[in-house]
Chains A and B, each alone.
Chain A
Amino acid sequence: MDFEIAMLLGQDGVTNGAIYALLALALVLVFAVTRVIFIPQGEFVAYGALTLAMIEAGRLPGTVWLLLAAGVAVTVLDGTAALRRGGGARLAAVVGWNLLYPLALLALLWTVPTAGWPLAAKVALTLAVVVPLGPMIYRVAYQPVAEAPVLILLIVSVAVHVAMVGLGLLFFGAEGSRTSAFSDASFTVGPMMVSGQSLWVVGTSLALIVALALFFGRTLYGKALRATAINRAGARLMGISPALAGRLTFMLAALIGALSGVLIAPIATIYYDTGFLIGLKGFVAAIIGGLASYPIAALGAILVGLLEAFSSFWASAYKEVIVFTLIIPVLVWRSLTSHHVEEDE
């Protein structure tokens, strides 16, 4: 291996690592606030990428049907509760967000040819379709069992993951897709070539991380989520609704997932089931951070990206094995430093 190849692999690793870092942040966030180990995080990546690909191809993305179906389910669940309490305004909000919004999106996608739209508009449309799925899934699948043990929540996660992969196959087919790059530019920095898309990925990731930091540091909702993560019961007593915290968290997770998918789609072919492996690499990073530390998880993600890039050069067949084996030393270290017997929640 010469320097040039090393730089190329390094660039690859950092680019992918930036995506894993975003996913790891989402996973840590979801776990901290809701105790859910969010296995379907990767599906949002695939849904984001493939929805964009279908919009580019001028076809109606199947995810909008899922949005409608999930919206109907939420409307039934929340609508009956709103009716029982006799809240007309509340009912209107429920119906508006969960029924009219998906219908409006469906009508738009159905009637307006979107293929010719500028990329930014297509990306916005993709996010408009995929992101609301996060809170809807939380409402339907997780909220009824929000107080269950971590293990039950994990099994729910796996069930949601499995269903979403199956639906992904139904919506997008078994063929993989790539979308057009955000930028075809490339820059020469000293001895190495940097592609514009890599810069987009790394730049967007950094911007998103800063935005999240501001959200959690400066806004009331961000502080509410932090409070919930630190002490669920205490936050509840202070009037922070756990259901609201859950939905907000899942919205962020879905946003991060879909945006990651949109970013990665031009540099890697995405299949309906690719998201799972991408999400798992985010998990490896999150585990490095002990499912608790954001900075360590982000560093871990870069490490995962680099390890993956270099092992694909040396031993491409064993690439996945090597990446997942990375968690072993981490687990050993964590295992050696933990002594006390504690009750699992």
Chain B
Amino acid sequence: MSQSRSSAAPAPVTGKVPLVRALPWLLLVLLACVPVTLSPFYVTLLNYIGLYAMVALGLVLLTGVGGLTSFGQGAFVGLGAYTTAVLTTHEALPVWLAWAGGSPWLALIVGLVLTAIVAVVLGSLTLKLSGHYLPLGTIAWGISLYFLFGTMEVLGGHTGLTGIPPISLFGWELDQGGEIFYLIWAFLLVAMLTTRNLLDSREGRAIRALKGGMVMAESMGVDTSRSRMIIFVIAALHAAASGWLYAHMQRFVNPTPFGLHIGIEFLFMAVVGGAGHVWGAVIGAAVITILKQWLQDLLPALFGASGNFEVIVFGVMMVIILQRAPNGIWPILTRWWPDRGVRRTVDAGAAPLPRREMPAAGEVLLQAIDVTRKFGGLVANNKMNLSVAAGEILALIGPNGAGKSTMFNQVSGVDTPTSGEVLFRGQDVAGKTAREVARLGMSRTFQHVRLLPEMSVLENVAIGAHMRGSKSVLPAAWRMDRAEEARLLAEAARQIERVGLAEHMFDAAGSLALGQQRILEIARALCSDPCLLLLDEPAAGLRYREKQILGELLRKLRGEGMAILLVEHDMDFVMGLVDRVVVMEFGEKIAEGLPEEVQKNPAVLEAYLGGVA
């Protein structure tokens, strides 16, 4: 524990760090030597590993990080390969396409654009639906495209297209395996670098929230369907680029290497290697490719029949890996790795983010007017009225089942009232999505803590600042977002310090105690620069001392002009803290007023104690 605490300071320089730092460079030198030292057989094998790793890398992003998956990556590889094959071999291209003919590099661009279009169309069909429709959709797409490759006259049918020219780079023709090797691995390394950069950015945090944090991310203003689309398109583009390289390495294409079974193999590579890690793609591609090579010699001899029997081994191996080591090989390897010492530093001097203009104290921010919510015959909220002003804490209390949480959902954009109005700063927010509501300056915490346990406290809180940044995928991939990123992280760090979690800033959020996790959620909400905070049972599960700290924090925020709506069970906590109380029972408001008044109200006593004591 003490080790992780010291990480708040700049990375400690230990003796191991230089070696670890040097490793990537060592690897690069080794790679550069491959074509001159190894036999053509191994060069070709490494070429294939590089090509497959690129596709698997897309799946690492899609499956390991984003929690989505695709079995149709083989078809995207085929799209890239066939596009360049057609454009560089057909003599008589139609006039509107003639400009792109002959040059592999132009064909790469056309292939990528085409792939992006297909991916966007496919994605818009399935990505809004629950997770399993995408893989099913990609199976159908993978099969359909495979049949198209095999039947369309212009694509050469099952015999394919031959005579694809080699790629030339500044006049250098890459027509040997040892030459295109450099291009393949350069592509792969760039793809790995940009993927890592992307994951460590504002957009990357939104992507990492897709797996298990979508509801939370949406209420922090993240457009999760956009994030899903982004990773699906990126994965498709990686596959298409791999196909382009493949076509110019093989110099001919036919449908076989782009079928569904190859798409499945790509997924196996990502899972075997470690679907959550950039290096997992390379490890997985290497393991599967080498194993396949070996098994294809061994098994037919063993069984005395020809056929792709290696798939039996792959299938069984996958089941075992998913049962025993669902995170793949890479995390097992890194267990023996010295601590990499890569710690993030927060630039406290970064310019603060612009803030929203805070409303004047006393201005009414949130107003619920006659809000009614019915679930079939059950009236969960009946003509509820309440209002919260800037610089005020309002508590919504009531016994279990009184309809507090339903009311909370009506005002926070999670649910839509059956009738009635919810006004936030004069605007009607009923029917608006959680994301739109967040943009208006309302931010919330969750009754059941929703955070990303693997990510650090800092990164979790930084998700709250998502709406306050704008740098998107490309700047993030090429590290042109660092100035903004520094400001976002500095803001997150400021909020963490403000709520008193500074010593845990770099710990994994999941390692905090429940009370601290609730505080973390408040820091995250504050990070979005709200003027109204909605807190859903923030004191639940907190110890006495933690409640006191939370109370102090809320008082401080109130003093700064924040409006706070609190749903709470804990009477002691509420009574000493809030300005006004609204009491609900059976979906209706039974009392409203100052805490002392409400405590003496006979209706309230009846609701809580079952009669005047």
Taking Cβ atoms with an 8 Å cutoff, the residues of A that contact B are 37, 140-141, 144-145, 148-152, 154-156, 158-167, 169-170, 173-174, 277, 280, 283-284, 287, 291, 317-318, 320-321, 324-325, 327-328, 331-332, 334-335, 338, 341-344
Contact = CB atoms under 8 A, between A and B. Distances in A.
Contact of B224 (A174, A328, A341): A341
Nearest to A169: B307
Contacts of A174: 307
Residue picked from A284, A327, A342, most chain B C-beta under 10 Å: A327
A244 to B, nearest CB: 20
21 contacts: A37-B132, A155-B322, A156-B322, A159-B314, A160-B319, A162-B314, A162-B315, A166-B310, A169-B305, A170-B307, A170-B312, A173-B305, A317-B147, A320-B144, A320-B147, A321-B148, A324-B140, A324-B141, A331-B126, A331-B129, A331-B133
Nearest to A40: B315
Contact of A327 (B137, B261, B303, B309): B137
Interface in B420-462: 434
Contacts of A343: 212, 214-215
B149 to A, nearest CB: 11
Contacts of B305: 169-170, 173
Interface in B319-366: 319, 322-323, 326
B39 interface: no
Contact of A145 (B133, B143, B322): B322
B69 A155 contact: yes
Residue picked from A144, A159, A291, most chain B C-beta under 10 Å: A159
Contacts of A324: 140-141, 143-144
Contact of B63 (A151, A156, A327, A342): A151
A164 B215 contact: no
B299 to A, nearest CB: 9
Nearest to B131: A344
Given A163-B312, A170-B305, A149 B67 contact: yes
B292 to A, nearest CB: 12
Interface in B127-151: 128-133, 135-137, 139-141, 143-144, 147-148, 151
B264 interface: yes
Interface string B408-426: 0000000000000000000
Interface residues of B, number: 53
A227 to B, nearest CB: 22
B277 to A, nearest CB: 17
Interface of B: 63, 67-69, 71, 124-126, 128-133, 135-137, 139-141, 143-144, 147-148, 151, 212, 214-215, 218, 224-225, 261, 264, 267-268, 271, 303, 305, 307-312, 314-316, 318-319, 322-323, 326, 434
A344 B135 CA distance: 14
Residue picked from B224, B271, B315, B434, most chain A C-beta under 10 Å: B315
B143 A320 contact: yes
Contacts of A280: 139-140, 143
Given A141-B319, A159-B315, A341-B215, 19 more contacts: A150-B130, A150-B132, A151-B63, A151-B132, A151-B135, A158-B71, A159-B316, A162-B314, A163-B316, A165-B311, A166-B307, A166-B315, A167-B312, A169-B308, A280-B140, A280-B143, A338-B129, A341-B224, A344-B132
A321 B311 contact: no
B309 A321 contact: no
Given A159-B319, A162-B314, A343-B215, A318 B69 contact: no
A167 to B, nearest CB: 6
A148 B268 CA distance: 17
A158 B321 CA distance: 13
Given A145-B323, A280-B140, A155 B267 contact: yes
A303 B144 CA distance: 19
Contact of A151 (B67, B225, B307, B314): B67
A67 B63 CA distance: 33
Contacts of B215: 341-343
A241 B312 CA distance: 31
Contacts of A163: 311-312, 314-316, 319
Given A145-B322, A343-B212, A335 B125 contact: yes
Contacts of A161: 315
A133 B212 CA distance: 34
Nearest to A326: B140
A337 B169 CA distance: 50
Contact of A154 (B132, B143, B225, B434): B132
A334 B315 contact: no
Contact of A341 (B140, B148, B214): B214
Contacts of A158: 71, 264, 267, 318
Contacts of A170: 303, 305, 307, 309, 312
Name the 5 nearest CB pairs between A and B, nearest first: A163-B315, A159-B318, A166-B312, A324-B140, A344-B131
B128 A335 contact: yes
A287 B136 contact: yes
Given A170-B309, A341-B214, A150 B147 contact: no
Given A150-B131, A284-B140, A166 B212 contact: no
Contacts of B309: 166, 169-170
Given A151-B69, A170-B303, A331-B126, A283 B136 contact: yes
A173 B137 CA distance: 30
A143 to B, nearest CB: 10
Contacts of B271: 155
A341 B218 contact: yes
Contacts of B261: 162
A214 B151 CA distance: 46
A318 B151 contact: yes
A151 B212 CA distance: 12
Contacts of A166: 307-312, 315
Contact of B264 (A150, A162, A328): A162
Contacts of A145: 322-323, 326
A37 B130 contact: no
